[in-house]
Structure 1
Amino acid sequence: MVEALKPRRFRRASERAAKRYSTDLRDREWEIVEPLLPRPKARGRKRQVWQREILNAIFYQIHNGGIWSDLPTDLPAYQTVYKYFRRWQRQGVWQQIHDALRQQVRVSAGKQPQASAGSLDSQSVKTDGNKGEVYGFDGGQLIKGRKRFILVDTLGMLMAVVVVNANCSEQGGGVMAVETLEPEQAKALTLIWVDQGYQGENFARVVVQLCGATVEVVKRADPGFVLLPKRWVVERTLAWINQNRRLSKDDELLPEMSEAIIQGSMIRLKQKPQVIR
């Protein structure tokens, strides 16, 4: 007798009837991530879904966009996927996975685990005004939505991310991003490159108080598009992020989930060292 098809919550990627997706974790990539995930509890109900497939579903959603309920049926149920994603975000597991992979990338590149220099920048993106209470209007970019502040190292790896209303000032959002640094990151950081939007003694003074880093303003000498020294790296990271349809705008109800999705896009990128130069 032919064995009945397993319920999709028990099914592994190798058992799918459909083709694999480009966002699926390969075996080598799963071996890196698996030790960073929570171990099953010794007591209580046994886990009924494979965490690798949960990650595959999250990465699929980040890259392809759309509503959660439109996840392909050969991936775990969207309610289960979002429940795990939200739990990992709230418990700090997602942050730990992201930070551990960033350190691995840095060590593989011959650098110290923690960065001594970084670049800070922001990006305003559109959102549905009915999606949560955190949104505003960026008068400079003429965008109604939210603003992403990111701090990256010299490889373009994400060190900090904050998502706020779009009318937040550059300096205000920059301070919030620096405030999210882990103690080990703040201790190692000595220099932050910024553009002229962060110029001013107040911002530099607050950054010194928060992490002891010096703020260096990289000024634009020529009009038009020019790759600024030390600043092009953060622009490249924003371009990497924007390659994911889920991040082409911000439709998340909670800004902390917007931050988690940005981290997720970078988690997937960190597993593709050929992309990082």
Structure 2
Amino acid sequence: MTTRQIGGLAATVEVGRVETLTPLMRRITVTGAGLRAFADVHLPGDAVKVALTAQGRSAELDPDDRSAPLHERLAAAGLVTRVYTLRDLAGDTAFLDVLLHAQGPGAAWGVLARPGDRVTIAGPAYGHAADPGAGEFVLIADHAALPALAETARALPAGATAHAYVALSGPGEAQKVVSPARVRAHWITPADPGSVEERTRALLEAVRAAPWRVPGTRVWAAGETGLVKALRRYIRRDLGVPREHARFSGYWTRGKDLDAADLAAVPEELRAAYEAFGYTDNHVIEDIEPSVDLV
């Protein structure tokens, strides 16, 4: 697989439609002429950084300001970023799918974003192109990486065969995976889907039980950092899949569990929104720079 790990574009876009795909997944449509430059260099699975306030509100910076690196300007403005896959990028429109699976600015944005909000994005990054000559693929993701898995599946070569394994954070969360390849999706919902440990265990068990055809199989895996490292050990070391045939990306890592004081400090508007969407994970997401080929 060919991978691009960094991009140098920035644009301010407008939130159009906000819709509920599943109980825990919001889809935020963004539009703007600046997206056309992203489309010109797009690779499947590309992601962008979204500028947010620490409370999860849309935030705007001048995308043409080159007076300082973006991360310095964000810090000076008291802003943070969260990373989301560009879905269905076409011209000046794209979708950003936001999973409401733990406390933090990203999930807050998923429930607080409103049409008309303006938000700055930067990227693209982390996209990749599947080997057009490969015939067998295995795609693995936790719920947070499902949008990236779906975009990856859309770009698989026609006639190829793929198995997709996805650990979900709750019931009713499966989505249709569209692809020119023949994809069989395996949706994994453990008895306690709100537990990161249970989701990790269930997904690893499913992957170990998969009908692997190692010679020539291409592997794509993304999700929580600890999960992806365990997958990498099994797939590279135990199965012997060569490095050039596998891609592993850590998307996020678990932070501290929330105590009563933490929960009481959550703004009422946000707490009500969390409860309405059936929050299951009582912990904070520690955002990380998505890492390709974790060691």
TM-score by structure 2 length? 0.27
Structure with greater helix percent: 1
Structure with greater strand percent: 2
Which structure has the larger Rg over C-alpha atoms? 1
TM-score by structure 1 length? 0.28
